[in-house]
Amino acid sequence: MNIKLGSALRMEEEIRRINEKYDGSKESNIEQQVEKLSEKAINVSDYLSRAQTALKKIDDIRDELIYMRTNADAGGFEAFDHNFSTLNQYAGVRYHQPDSLIANPTNGLGQWSDRVDQVDGGHGTVISVDRKFIGNDYSIELSDGRRLNPSIKSYAMEGDDGTKLEFSKLSVTSLDSGTGAITFHYDDGAAGVDYTGTLTRGGGTVLNAWLYNNFATQADKDRAATDISAAHLRISSAERTFLNDEAGLSAARTTMKAEVDELNKQFAAVAEENLDAKQAEIKAAKARFGFLNNSLALTQGNATALIQQLTMNDWGVKKLSMTDIMFQAHGY
């Protein structure tokens, strides 16, 4: 019994050793590589989708600029402002659309600086993805420090202090395109109110119709045409940038997908190979210990007969020699 127990314990220990040898560490390592690479690939795909969406919207924005030019020439200031609002909805005039590459990347309060996001392209490469606001936005900081922003919902200049100046009651007295210095008048039904301040622009830099005096003169129309041409140039520049970004992101995604596919194949191969090897070693171990136990079983009867001859026979009646005992126990 002690021999069998020792044999069973040794077999248990060897199987434990085999299990530790094939502990899944190789598979786990590949899984970790797949997980990290997949996270990077998902991020790259997300930015690729943003770039492609931006490129699709560029044509819509370009069309709205064309409509604005037509309406400015015709003096259609209400239609012009409608185009202004529609264009900004395509682009995302404020920062409420963080996933849009053509929305305002900052806070819309006189700040429209472009931004570049650094995207991990794998293998130590970094893809620079541009954010370029290609809508139209502007802000006026009054001489008293208050800031007015256009509202595309109310068609008015609004301030945080509750100031609300309807576009239909505003007109420009003077505007320096270089410095942004502006003086404008608000018709309140009485003598009116004059304001001075500084105009800053963002995106395509086109303004609402009231800042072109609703196209009352040819000079006002010419100012609008100049700004619209500048917006077209900005859009064309942004389009080239997004096309380059799209190409880089697309190449990175293709490479990452191929690498993930290859790692998945490696995982399947290693898992199958380790499983087969583990099962083979366990099977061999069980066979060895089974053979040992069978050998013990075959010799158990002879050993018992030998012990009986040595311990249970009546030596007083007949004294047998060791040769006789061995003959009776083993038959030779």
User: What pLDDT, on the 0 to 100 scale, is given for residue 292?
Assistant: 54
Is pLDDT above 90 for 318? Answer: no
Q: pTM of the entire structure?
A: 0.70
- Mean pLDDT score, 212-240: 96
Contact 246, 52 (CB under 8 A): yes
User: What pLDDT, on the 0 to 100 scale, is given for residue 31?
Assistant: 72
Lowest mean pLDDT among 24-38, 219-233, 305-319: 305-319
More confidently predicted of 195 and 6: 195
Q: How confident is the model at residue 255 (pLDDT cuts 50, 70, 90)?
A: confident
Whole-angstrom distance, CA of residue 211 vs CA of residue 195? 13
Is pLDDT above 70 for 211? Answer: yes
**C-beta pairs of 251-258 under 8 Å, 24+ apart in sequence:** 252/44, 252/119, 252/121, 252/122, 252/125, 252/127, 253/41, 253/44, 253/45, 253/48, 255/122, 255/123, 256/37, 256/40, 256/41, 256/44, 256/122, 257/41
Q: How confident is the model at residue 317 (pLDDT cuts 50, 70, 90)?
A: very low
More confidently predicted of 315 and 171: 171
- Mean pLDDT score, 220-238: 96
Q: Buried b vs exposed e over 33-62: b needs ≥16 C-beta within 10 Å?
A: ebeebeebbebbbebbebbbebbebbeebb
Cα dist from 136 to 11, 33, 188, 217, 230, whole Å? 79, 44, 27, 23, 11
Contact 141, 147 (CB under 8 A): yes
Degrees to nearest 5, angle at CA 248 with 103 and 236: 45
3-state helix, strand, coil in the chain (%, to 5): 60, 15, 25
| Percentage of residues of the chain with pLDDT beyond 70 | 65
User: What pLDDT, on the 0 to 100 scale, is given for residue 315?
Assistant: 45
Name the phi and psi angles at 174, rounded to 5: -155, 150
Lookup: tokens for 237: 């520049």
Whole-angstrom distance, CA of residue 20 vs CA of residue 167? 78
Q: How confident is the model at residue 332 (pLDDT cuts 50, 70, 90)?
A: very low
